Structures are given as C-alpha cells and as structure tokens.
Chain A
Amino acid sequence: MSNPLKDMEKPDVIFAIGTNMTECHPVAATRLKKALTQGATMVVVDPRKTRLAKMAHLHLPIRLGSDVALLLAMAHVIQREELYDLEFIADRTTGGKAFVEHLKPFTPEWAAEICEVPAEDIEQAGLIYGRGAPSAIYYTLGITEHICGVDNVQSLCNLALMTGNLGLEGGGINPMRGQNNIQGAGDCGAVPANFPGFQPCDNPEFAEKFSKLYQREIDAERGITKVTALNESGKSIHAMLIDGENTVVTDPDKNHCEHALKSLEHLVVIDLFLTETAELADVVFPATAFGETDGVQANTERRVQRLRQAVPPVGEAKPDWWIISEISKRMGTPGFEYDSAKDVFNELCSVSPIYAGLDWDRIEHGEYHWPVPDKDHPGTPRLHEGEFKGGMKGVFKIINYRDPAEVISDDFPLWLTTGRRLQAYHSRTQTGRSAGIEYLLSEESLEVHPDDAEELGLVHGGMAKMSSARGEIEVPVKVTDMSPKGTVFTSFSFANVPVNILTGGGYDPVTQTAELKVCPVKVVPA
C-alpha cells in the first residue's frame, strides 16, 4: 500500500475495485466502514454483489476482465470534465500529453458495451473519483489475477497520477496483500527479478554486491518465474525446494501442476502438514508454526512486526530457516551459520537498503514502515509525499483493452470467477483444522444467479457438473443474486471442489500471474 491502514479512515472518495474486503481483509474493511460513517463516498467495482458492494453509493458489476475499459473511460471523463490536477501532472509526471490524446475515443458509451454496465454509471464513477479530495484506490487479486493484471494496475496508476491522488493522507494506490507475509517474501528477495530489498538482479552492480556477500558468482540476469519453472519441470528443471506452499491445490491447472512436480528427480517440501504437495515429495520436513516460531513479518502497509514463540514446537518441528540452513551447510554452501532468527533478520537488514535502519531490537514494538534507510529515519508510513523516489517522474502508460485469454462461447457459455470466503483460508490446511469453522462453512458451493439456475435447470442444494477447457468438477449449487446473471462463483478452498482443475487459461505476459479470476465454463445439473 502507498498509504498506511489508518489512512483508510480518511478518504473523501473510496474507489474499491476487485477487492472483497469484508471477507478477505475484514479488519481493514472496518476502517472503510468508519470512513463511510464520516461521510466518505464509495464506488465499488466487482462483478459480484459483495457486502462491500452493498455498502457502496455506486456499484458497477462489470463483466469479468473488463477493468481496463472501465478505467480508460473513467480517465476519459476526468479529462473531459477537467478534473485533473495540472500542477501535479506538470511537476511530477511525464507522458501526460500522449496519454490524454490516447483517451479520446474511450467514452463511457464505448466502455459500456465491453463492461456490460450502463454508460451513466461509468460516467458517475469517473466524476466521483475525479472530484474526491482525496480519492483512494483499494484493490486486491480481482485486479491482478488476469492476463492484463499489469495493465489493470497501470490503469489505476494513471487515474491517481492524473488527479494527483498520491502522497496524500487518505489517498494513494493501495493493494491489499492476501497473505500474512507475502510482502515480506518480496522484501527478502524471494523473487526471480530482485535481490533482497528490491535490488534488481539484472543490474551488474547488485549482482556483484551479492556475489561478494554470498561468496560465489551469481547470474546478473533475472531468474525464471515459478510458472515457467513448473512448465519446465522434467525438461530443464529437475529439483525443487518448496517451503510452505500447497502448490498442487492453490495453483491453476491442477493436473498440469501435479504432473510437473511428479516429473522432478528430487522434490523437497517443508510444511506443517502432509499436504497434497508434500505427498509428492522425496523428503518432507516438519516446520514450526505460528506460535512456535520467533521471526518477523511485514504487512500490507509495509509495517515490520515481530512474531514470538509462545509454546514449544509440536514433535520435532524446526523453524524453516534452520532447516534450509542445515540443507545448505550439508551441500557445502558457506554463510549459513545462524544461531537464531535474530541472526538471519539482522543479516537481511545489513544487505537491504530499505531495512538498513532496522534491526531485531528496533522492531520490538512494530512501529516502522519500510523504507527505513538509516538508524535515524522514522520510517515511511506514506509513500510519494512531495516527490517520487529520487525525484523520479510518474510515468503515464498507454494501455489498451484486450479480451481475457478465454471468452465465453457456445461450448462454455458462463463466466466463472474464483475467490475466498470469510471463514476459510486458501486450501484450508489451517482453517479446516480449527474447531468450529465447519459450523459456519461446512462445504463449498457454486453461486448461481436465479435466472441462470432456472435456465440451466439447477436447483438450490442440488449438484452441478461444471467443466472448462481443462477439466470437470462437481459442486453443490447455491442460488443467489450475489452473482450477476451469466457469472458463477466458487472459492478454491475446498479439496472436494478442486476448482483449479478448471482455471488457468492464460497468464499475464509480464508477471506470469495466472488468470484465476476469469474462466469460461459450462454448468449442467449433475
């Protein structure tokens, strides 16, 4: 997030797109509810009538994957009505002229055809966002899990840049991170493009720095992504170390994924449970869990906080860092002589400029948001205040709409989208093992609009067969107007409804994020 969570109580206008926040980030959503009671106006863009959508002043249930068209038309309206911030554009951005020229044909009427919502509503959304003082954008995977995920994010950036809604209390562009430490995984350099602290791998200066630190030559080029690695399994990739991810269940195209892992010569998995993924491994290590582990995590607002051990580990479980270090030592790799989580974290701080001002003891109370470049720095709750990093300019990007990888057809006439539910988390390895949750959510279901149910002969509580170009699953039907006509929804949490057998039609060409939010399907009574 560009802004701290407490800023969520401050916006004049809330623009929430592709985020089911009351279910996926409930505590953050309480802050938006507070902003609403204080008079904020909220626009929600989501195909489904989520709780957040019901609280909105304006809800746009756009067709799956049509976000770019909507955002272009909103920018068009802001331009036409001169709601832009000329001073901000002049001082802090580049590419504005070409961008404005590009917007001309993208009227609300044009977008209405694609988004399948009224042009007036698109007009209104543009006016409301453009007039907000300030306006804040919130988004989640509903924006990123598309073949055009990067385009979606850059379209949102364009809106914020043209209206100067960056670096302001209660404004900004705020992706809500879905996992407790997914921010931290990136911060720590567990990505193919960056060393720790987002120092690019393809910059020889950093490759040399880390080659020196790690006492061996490291490639001065990006590695491949996980998606490519899975595609290459059995071809050029022959061994994997997977830490705490149930890849088989949570990744798209389950059959492909399972096949990929099975074709490896050597698979090592570290986890809490014998997950579907761990069952395929040659070696499985028991890791310590939350409550058994000292460590650090970074939240969605870049706040760096300590985790503390409350009880001894179950059985012989060991911290992940200890297991990984032991394997490394036995391979003869130098530099893994750590005695504690503190040692590891302090090493990270010493090699990462955004953590340079931090150490284990300084984060005792969790008040720092990175970047914290030196020991005298108070941290950075709000990014982009006054200027962008190093005086750089915000760049307007020329984006065009394109269809999802797969669109509905006679064979697969319904849109399927996937997501989470309040009471379950991911593949339920944890919530599924917590007593009482099943009282509230005992099984998965497919949400179908009443009109679709009638047309397809589906009954509430009955079973349906749902198929895509990749496979078929069975799922109980829930008839509800949560889903718009023509679109069905289910979560990916339940093993008996392995929806990721169906998904995986395409990937964003830049990030290789799978289009988990769009999948044409056929649904018939089972």
Chain B
Amino acid sequence: MTVSPEHYTEVNQLTMTLDGEPVSFTEGETIYEVAERHRREVPTLCYDERLEAFGACRLCVVEVEGIRNPVASCTTKATDGMVVKTQTEGIEKHRKTLLEMVVSENRNVDVDELSGYSSQEMTNLVDRYQARTGRFQGKKSGKSNTDDKNPFILRDYDNCISCYRCVRVCAEREGDYAINVMNRGFHTQIITEFNNDLRDSDCTFCGQCVQTCPTGALGDKKALRDADTPGEVKKTRSVCPYCGVGCAVDLLSKGDKIVGVQPAMDGPANEGALCIKGQFAFDFIQNADRLKKPMVRRDDGQLHECEWDEALDRAAEGFKKVREKHGRHSVYGIASGRAPHEAAYTMQKFMRAGFGTNYIDNCSRA
C-alpha cells in the first residue's frame, strides 16, 4: 500500500501538550500562536500579530516542563512533545506583578477608546488581573511631546510602556523608519530623528503607530476631538473612498456623527494598513459645505435651492426637450469613478435605456 503525501504528514504530525490537552501544531509556530489557536487568552502588551515577535513585555510567559524559568511564549517555537502550562498560579502572579509595575509608570490607565484600535489593551489587562493596587510608586519614564502641533497624532509619552510597537510598525510594516528609541530604562524615549516634530521627519502620518499603541500614549487626535461627545462608539465596516487599493476600514460614529476611522485588521486588501488620506481625511463627509438640497437655475441666472420634485422634473424635462429637438444622440452621460457600482450601473442604463445610445463614459480618461 502506498501512503499519500497528505497522509504521510498526518501520521507524522507534531504535537505538544497545552494545559494537559494534546494539540497539534505546524513546524515554525510559536507557543503563543498555538495557544492563541486554542483560545488560551495569553496576555500580551508588546505583541501585534502583524509584527515580528519581540519578547519585551514578558506577560506572555508560560511554564515549559524541563525549563526552570518561565519562557516568553511569543518568541519560543513549539517543539514536538513539549509540555506547556499557560495559566499556573505562579505565572498568573508574575503577570499581575508585571502589570502593577507597568501601571505604576503611567499617568492614566483609562484612555478613551477613540485613541486607537489597540488602545484598550493595557486597561483590559489591568482590570483582568486587578492590578490597580498602587503597590509600586516612584519614578516615571518618558516625556510627553505635547509641543508637537501636528493635528493627527497625540504623543503622550507619560503613558508609554516601551513596547516599541510604534517603532516596529513604522519600520517593519511601513518601511518609513520615522521614529526610534533613545536611551534605556527610565530614560527611554520614542523620538524622531534629531527629536524634531513628526512633520519634519520621515513620518507619512499613516496612523499605524496610533493604531498599534496598547496604552493610548499615541492617540488619534482627530477622533479624540469627540471624546466628550455623548453616545456609544459604533463601528461600521466599509471601504476607503480614495485610491484604488480598496482598504477596508471601520468608520467610527457617535449618534449621527462620524468621528473617526480605524483600519480593518482583517481587511483583505490592506491587512490593517492605511495611509494619511484613509486614516485622517474623513471629515469632508459632514462638512458644512455639503449640498443639502437640490438646486435649479432660475430666471435670474442663479442657482436656488428647491424641493426634490421641482429639480427632478426640471432635470427630466430638460433631457426630454433636448432629445425631441436634437435627437437621441445629443445627450451624454459621465459616470463617476468615485461613486459605487450602483451609480455607474444606473448611469449607463440612463443612457442606454433612455436614449438607446452608448453615449456614456467615466472619468478614467482624465
């Protein structure tokens, strides 16, 4: 009997024991990734699945049989036959102590959810481990850069926990290397080249640092303008209205107001990335200049607001008149490359069903 290749790998599958349960994994997976797949909720602060594992926060430590000290699960590869415990009393106590120390450094534990996609991570862990104990007091690290007057990115380093997610996302995902780490220990500081404002650095204001920050040290300044606006934050999945890449976004709204944008981490075209336009250029939507009513040109030569019926009749009559006077090849339609399919489809149908011509185009020639 021949063994098919698929069958062969199956019988040779790698297995480990996770909290007493045998689980399989694939070559190269870390303990953390295996545990995540099995919904173990191992806590992390420096971890972003889109970035190389870093092993700095030490919250994801687990016990591995045969190894004396707990190991960081995010940087340790799973091996065949490994026996791992993710939630022993000792590990949990260690995690709580670590969190208490982290909290002791930060001015705020509670940050507004409008700060960014990951902004609640630390708050949630502190609550989960009941770590607001005030056990540790003393020196704080990081110096806020409140002088940076850029309108998009809040830089409140009093809340920085040196997870370097911002630095890493800027380098690894964006390839921009606009920010880096200066000094060590309590003097650690995230800075731009020459410690300038972001505007004078290689920063492109894509907002990725804001969205990965787990403490709100970096925040979405535009969204935070509505921190005090009453109402729950609602997220609506849509697609960015600018270029053709088609980045999936979550529109943030409170009541009837759009207050911000967050990238969809599972967006198929962007996988969590955005650029300055998609991230920050959304408020044209509810700008005061928006047309609110139809308008018609009256005898005085000026455009005047009017009711829908008048405008629709006037539009229809005008096309009918021109068709009668000059024939059906005297009318032309230009569709938009910015509006949805339904607009383009009805535009071409307006011409083809209305006039029997193919006198329709869009703005791709401009």
Q: Which residues of A contact B (CB under 8 A)?
A: 5, 22, 24-28, 30, 33-34, 36-37, 55, 176-193, 195-196, 201, 210-211, 214-219, 221-227, 229, 236-245, 247, 250-252, 265-266, 268, 271-274, 278-279, 281-287, 289-293, 295-301, 303, 305-312, 314-321, 323-328, 330-331, 333-336, 338, 341, 344-345, 347-348, 366-367, 422-423, 425, 429-437, 439-440, 511-514, 516
Seed contacts A247-B366, A330-B316; 13 additional CB < 8 Å A-B pairs:
A27-B245, A177-B244, A180-B243, A189-B352, A216-B356, A223-B360, A274-B295, A283-B295, A295-B343, A299-B246, A327-B350, A345-B345, A436-B150
Of B237, B303, B362, B366, the contact of A190 (CB 8 Å cutoff)? B362
Q: How far is the CA of A297 from the CA of B315 in the complex (A)?
A: 27
Most buried by B among A214, A225, A272, A324: A324
For residue B325, which residues in chain A have a CB less than 8 angstroms away from its CB?
238, 265
Please tell me if the beta carbons of A283 and B341 are within 8 angstroms of each other in the complex: no
Please tell me if the beta carbons of A295 and B341 are within 8 angstroms of each other in the complex: yes
Of B246, B313, B318, B339, the contact of A303 (CB 8 Å cutoff)? B246
Of B270, B273, B303, B322, the contact of A281 (CB 8 Å cutoff)? B303
The DSSP consensus for interface residues of chain B is mixed
> Could you give 5 example pairs across A and B, Cβ below 8 Å?
A184-B344, A225-B361, A226-B363, A289-B290, A434-B280
Please tell me if the beta carbons of A190 and B353 are within 8 angstroms of each other in the complex: no
Most buried by B among A221, A236, A307, A309: A307
Question: B346 contacts the other chain (Cβ, under 8 Å)?
Answer: yes
Question: B13 contacts the other chain (Cβ, under 8 Å)?
Answer: no
Q: How far is the CA of A315 from the CA of B343 in the complex (A)?
A: 20
Most buried by B among A176, A423, A429: A423
Please tell me if the beta carbons of A244 and B336 are within 8 angstroms of each other in the complex: yes
Chain B residues 225 to 279 lying within 8 A of chain A, measured CB to CB, are 234, 236-248, 251, 253, 256-258, 268-270, 273-278
Please tell me if the beta carbons of A229 and B366 are within 8 angstroms of each other in the complex: no
Please tell me if the beta carbons of A291 and B258 are within 8 angstroms of each other in the complex: yes
Please tell me if the beta carbons of B354 and A316 are within 8 angstroms of each other in the complex: no
Please tell me if the beta carbons of A347 and B245 are within 8 angstroms of each other in the complex: no
Q: Which residues of B contact A (CB under 8 A)?
A: 149-152, 173-175, 199, 204-206, 221-222, 234, 236-248, 251, 253, 256-258, 268-270, 273-278, 280-287, 289-297, 303, 308, 311-316, 318-323, 325-326, 329-354, 356-366
> Assuming A179-B244, A180-B242, A315-B293, is B352 touching A193 (CB within 8 A)?
no
User: Shortest beta-carbon distance, A29 to chain B, in Å?
Assistant: 8
> Assuming A176-B244, A185-B336, is B289 touching A274 (CB within 8 A)?
yes
> Assuming A188-B348, A239-B322, is B353 touching A333 (CB within 8 A)?
yes
For residue A295, which residues in chain B have a CB less than 8 angstroms away from its CB?
339-343
Closest to A223 in B: B358
For residue A180, which residues in chain B have a CB less than 8 angstroms away from its CB?
239-244, 246, 337-338
Of B149, B289, B350, B363, the contact of A179 (CB 8 Å cutoff)? B363
Of A242, A297, A315, A422, the contact of B340 (CB 8 Å cutoff)? A297
> Assuming A180-B246, A321-B346, A345-B342, is B318 touching A283 (CB within 8 A)?
yes
Of A183, A268, A308, A315, the contact of B237 (CB 8 Å cutoff)? A308
> Assuming A310-B258, A316-B292, is B341 touching A229 (CB within 8 A)?
no
Please tell me if the beta carbons of B276 and A423 are within 8 angstroms of each other in the complex: yes
Of A296, A310, A514, the contact of B236 (CB 8 Å cutoff)? A310
User: Shortest beta-carbon distance, B346 to chain A, in Å?
Assistant: 4
Please tell me if the beta carbons of A183 and B244 are within 8 angstroms of each other in the complex: yes
Q: How far is the CA of A37 from the CA of B281 in the complex (A)?
A: 30
For residue B287, which residues in chain A have a CB less than 8 angstroms away from its CB?
433
Please tell me if the beta carbons of A240 and B358 are within 8 angstroms of each other in the complex: no
Please tell me if the beta carbons of B365 and A284 are within 8 angstroms of each other in the complex: no
> Assuming A216-B353, A271-B291, A305-B246, is B341 touching A296 (CB within 8 A)?
yes
Q: How far is the CA of A471 from the CA of B160 in the complex (A)?
A: 55
Most buried by B among A24, A242, A423, A440: A440
